[in-house]
Amino acid sequence: MVAVGNPDTAAHVSTMVPGLNTELEDVPGLMLHRAENLQDVADDLTPEAGDVSVIAWLDYDAPEGYTDDANLSVVGHSYGSTTTGWAAAHGDGLAVDDLVVAGSPGTTVDHAADLHIDRRRVWAGAAPDDDVANYFPGTVHGDDPTALRFEANQFHVDTSGHGNYWEKDPSGLPSQSLANQAAIITGDYDYFDANPGALDHTSDQAAAGPPRPAPPREPAPYGPPPQR
């Protein structure tokens, strides 16, 4: 576990759960890079520096020790979102205010409400060319969390591939995907009212539509593990 910022004193604490092919040696580079970008952009949205802490987490036991009034969130990437979804859907669920998934092959459930959290606090995003998000949902891991019938919020993703959801552009400006997640983990929901293009659809918009049955389960398609 590596924390960017101090989770013991931060007002907003987010835990990032990685996925496919992530190993301990990835922590200093890949995982820490993503956590630093998310913490940096999110901290800029808060009144004081240090209000946000992001934890890069490779062990799936939930960390403890936050302040009682901290705003808690979890960000699951790739198969980390599947692990996060399973944990949220079982037992007492996850004690978090917001649940975010990016590049998800599925969260083990067919509906946001099955994650034991207000569906309006479930957020999903997927790049159009993400092989994992476009390849596996609807197979063995539950329905596509970005689908309208899932009834989560779908945040807009302007990055490409499976692993670039937390990138900045060459000038240092955050991608839309990164900015959206920064707003979510700081509880800045007004951001989405001020930036209509930040969401492809809201949970309420999805729920207002006609009921849509989940697709029948299919065996997971065979293929090489995509790049993270």
Residue pLDDT, tens place only, 54-63:
998 765 444 4
pLDDT exceeds cutoff 50 at 76: yes
| CA 179 – CA 177 distance, rounded (Å) | 6
pLDDT exceeds cutoff 60 at 216: no
Residue 23: its pLDDT value, please?
47
Is 222 or 109 the better-scoring residue by pLDDT? 109
Q: What is the percent of the chain with per-residue pLDDT over 70, rounded to a whole number?
A: 81
Q: How confident is the model at residue 222 (pLDDT cuts 50, 70, 90)?
A: very low
Residue pLDDT, tens place only, 123-161:
999 999 998 888 776 667 899 999 999 999 999 999 999
**Rg (alpha carbons) of the chain, rounded to whole number:** 16
Task: Write b or e for each residue in 67-102: b if 16 or more Cβ atoms lie within 10 A of its Cβ, otherwise e.
Answer: eeebbbbbbbbbbbbbbbbbbbbeeeebebbbbbbb
Taking Cα atoms as reference points, which of 8, 1, 41 lies closest to residue 24? 1
Where along the chain do its domains lie?
2-208
Q: What pTM did the predictor assign?
A: 0.85
Q: What is the CATH number of domain 2-208?
A: 3.40.50
